[in-house]
């Protein structure tokens, strides 16, 4: 049926209206590709200018004096802060989001599940600046108690040392990012869990498995790649998050061994906070750091999409 339709469509494609319309739609598709390419090219041009004038080492310098003459700047601290805060966010958000997704797909009564998944989708739409405001004015003053406790028992590790200053640190940023990426990871994971073949689950139940055993033996193995790609989508969000970090973090261009004390910086936060004071050299330097962020998120998101695509093919042939 469809093949005859296609052939008929090919025959009618001679008409001018058809030619114009198909050219338009193909043109917009190509325009999207051009925009993507242009983003990379334009950022790369400005970044090349900046890096060529950089008196420090772009990768290893612990400094950001791009407006000085000669300019000295490096992304070491930014890379460290971005990766550390995102890793903290992932370590918290992935298990919790998996739990919530299981709750929605397998544990909650149906009506609660429907309402709650609707709520999760709504929360994904809350603007990041509002998370930032809440984080800075509500969360930060309340983290001190927890950090004191961590310092008391784990302070000897150095990572959890805490001096009682306001908790505007990478750890708080990580926790806030975890809260922010929960909805997206949850909603993707939930869909994957729902696709687990009913027959597998019923077979496990028929063999006398408890609910947890059903999940462990059928749902989780089936959804492993789905959970991984959902987490990487969340990671992509966390890496590029700007406003929540800019409001919560008290930045400095030093790597502090303690995650609980203020200091550090991330790519996006650094761009947003330094932009207003930046001269033309400073802007080029910020664009150079933006290019690194762009490549980082491209890598993470591309990998996530490839995993999803491969899984789709796999489950497509299996079905």
Partner 1 sequence: MSEQHLDTTERGTAVPLATLRPPRLPRWAPGALLVGSVAFAVVVGVVGRLHSHLQWGLIAAVVFVAATFGLAWRVEGRRHAVDRLASLLVWACFLVALLPLASLLYETVRRGVPHVDWYFLTHSMNGVLSWQAGGGIYHALLGTVEQVAIASVIAIPIGLLTAVYLVEYGRGRLAKAITFFVDVMTGIPSIVAGLFILSLWIMMLDFGYSGFAGAMALSILMMPIVVRSTEEMLKLVPAELREASLALGVPKWRTILRVVLPTAIGGIATGVMLALARIAGETAPIILLVFGTNMINGNVFEGAQSSLPLYVYEQWSFGTEAAYDRAWAAALVLIAFVMILNLAARAVARWKAPKASR
Q: Which is nearer to partner 1, 74 or 240 (CB)?
A: 240
- C-alpha 288: how far from its chain's center? 20
Q: Which is nearer to partner 1, 117 or 258 (CB)?
A: 117
CB of 196 to partner 1, least distance (A): 16
Q: Which is nearer to partner 1, 82 or 169 (CB)?
A: 82
CB of 158 to partner 1, least distance (A): 26
Residue 241 CA to residue 85 CA, distance in Å, equals: 11
Q: Which is nearer to partner 1, 129 or 257 (CB)?
A: 129
Sign of CA dihedral 126, 128, 134, 135: positive
Q: Which is nearer to partner 1, 61 or 86 (CB)?
A: 86
CB of 211 to partner 1, least distance (A): 6
Q: Which is nearer to partner 1, 8 or 91 (CB)?
A: 8
CB of 155 to partner 1, least distance (A): 19
DSSP the chain: -HHHHHHHHHHHTTSHHHHHHHHHHHHHHHHHHHHHHHHHHHHHHHHHHHHHH-SS-TTT---EETTSSS-EE-SHHHHHHHHHHHHHHHHHHHHHHHHHHHIIIIIS-HHHHHHHHHHHHHHTTS-HHHHHHHIIIIIHHHHHHHHHHHHHHHGGGSTT---SS---BHHHHHHHHHHHHHHHHHHHHHHHHHTS-HHHHHHHHHTT--HHHHIIIIIHHHHHHHHHHHHHHHHHHHHH--HHHHHH---BSS--S-SSSB-B--HHHHHHHHGGG--HHHHHHHHHHHHHHHHHHHHHHHHHHHHHHHHHHHHHHH-
**Do residues 64 and 73 make contact, with C-beta atoms less than 8 angstroms apart?**
yes
Q: Which is nearer to partner 1, 71 or 236 (CB)?
A: 236
CB of 286 to partner 1, least distance (A): 7
Q: Which is nearer to partner 1, 39 or 256 (CB)?
A: 39
CB of 289 to partner 1, least distance (A): 9
Residue indicated by tokens 């299981």: 102
CB of 84 to partner 1, least distance (A): 17
CB of 53 to partner 1, least distance (A): 15
């Amino acid at each position: 049926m469809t093949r005859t339709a296609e052939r008929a469509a090919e025959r009618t494609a001679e008409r001018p209206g058809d030619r114009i319309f198909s050219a338009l739609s193909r043109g917009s598709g190509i325009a999207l590709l051009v925009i993507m390419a242009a983003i990379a090219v334009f950022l790369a041009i400005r970044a090349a200018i900046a890096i060529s004038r950089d008196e420090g080492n772009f990768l290893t310098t612990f400094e950001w004096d791009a407006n000085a003459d000669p300019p000295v700047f490096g992304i070491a601290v930014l890379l460290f802060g971005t990766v550390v805060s995102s890793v903290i966010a992932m370590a918290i958000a992935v298990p919790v989001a998996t739990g919530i997704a299981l709750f929605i797909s397998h544990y909650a009564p149906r009506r609660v599940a429907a309402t709650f998944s609707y709520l999760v989708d709504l929360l994904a739409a809350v603007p990041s600046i509002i998370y930032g405001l809440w984080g800075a004015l509500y969360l930060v003053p309340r983290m001190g108690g927890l950090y004191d406790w961590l310092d008391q028992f784990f302070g000897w590790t150095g990572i959890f040392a805490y001096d009682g200053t306001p908790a505007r640190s990478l750890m708080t940023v990580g926790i806030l990012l975890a809260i922010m990426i929960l909805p997206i990871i949850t909603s993707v994971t939930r869909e994957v869990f729902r696709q687990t073949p009913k027959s597998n689950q019923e077979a496990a139940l028929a063999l006398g498995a408890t609910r947890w055993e059903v999940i462990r033996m059928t749902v989780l193995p089936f959804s492993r790649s789905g959970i991984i790609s959902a987490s990487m989508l969340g990671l992509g969000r966390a890496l590029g998050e700007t406003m929540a970090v800019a409001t919560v973090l008290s930045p400095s261009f030093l790597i502090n061994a303690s995650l609980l004390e203020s200091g550090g910086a991330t790519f996006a936060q650094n761009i947003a906070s330094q932009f207003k004071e930046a001269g033309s050299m400073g802007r080029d330097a910020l664009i150079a750091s933006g290019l690194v962020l762009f490549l980082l998120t491209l890598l993470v998101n591309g990998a996530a999409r490839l995993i999803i695509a491969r899984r789709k093919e796999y489950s497509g042939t299996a079905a």
